[in-house]
Amino acid sequence: MHKVYLSLGSNLGNRKENIKRALKLISKDNSIICCSHAYRTTPYGYTNQPDFINLALLIHSEMSAGVLLSFLKNIEKSLGRIPAIHWGPRTIDIDILFYDDLIIKEEDFIVPHPDIENRFFVLKPLMDICPDFVHPVLNKTIKELYDILQLKLKSLS
């Protein structure tokens, strides 16, 4: 059984319903162990779009990392996600943040998910479910990464 942290986000259509449907589909073949609160967050990168609803999940999965990635991409597609603008609006976005403590570097698949340390919309929900989890590349806890990002954001305002 693999311990996997996921990030879910939606900013098109009925965002809450999109998330709810994604959770139901994820749970068909995986065990959802815990789920963060849902947070309304501003877009990252391409900012001319509606706000997102984001949350994080811990699941237990029997699937290999590659099979799980395909499974999640199929869920995105079934919920109407159409790849368009990088960091653009989407009905649903499901990312594998951490897969056990593995480090995976393939052309189309990187774990831990890149740039977690700069993404408030990822770190805030992770704080709800795993503040003490240690990022296997950065060797810092989620809480440490969150605190560092908070200081960066404060210095910018």
Q: Give the active site residues.
A: 81, 90, 93, 95
Query: What Rg value do the Cα atoms of the chain yield, rounded?
Result: 15
Distance CA 25, CA 150 (A): 33
Instruction: Indicate the SS3 state at residue 74.
Output: helix
DSSP 11: -
Residue spans of beta strands (DSSP E) within the chain: 2-10, 31-35, 39-41, 52-61, 93-99, 104-106, 109-111
Distance set, CA 134 to CA 23, 74, 85, 137, 143 (Å): 25, 29, 32, 9, 9
Cβ atoms of residues 36 and 126 within 8 Å:
yes
